[in-house]
Amino acid sequence: MFRWIDLIIFGIGCLLTLLFLFVIPVDNLFTMIIKLLPAGIGAFLVLPIPNYHNVLVFIQEMIKYFSNRRVYIWKGWCFNNEYKDK
């Protein structure tokens, strides 16, 4: 279900969160959000969605779509007309 890169991203996010939990003292809500943010981002990226593998693959495909050429050349049924009038 998960690729190796998905597990690595989620694992690094969880390890950073654990490191932040031990190192940074909790003073207020903002520091707690900062401490939990790496695991939240990692979990969001590997979250499965329909029609794509996960959110990371969707973001990659969206970047690929918007960065490529979007001027489509017509190659329909009349591009190479094989039935010419004689």
Tens-place pLDDT, residues 5-48? 999 999 999 999 999 999 999 899 999 999 999 999 999 999 99
84 has pLDDT over 60: no
Predicted pLDDT at 85: 55
Q: What is the pLDDT of residues 66-76, one digit of tens each?
A: 998 878 776 66
The string over 5-37, giving b where at least 16 C-beta atoms fall within 10 Å of a residue's C-beta and e elsewhere, is: ebeebbeebeebbeebeeeeeeeeeeeeeebee
pTM: 0.72
The total number of residues shown for the chain amounts to 86
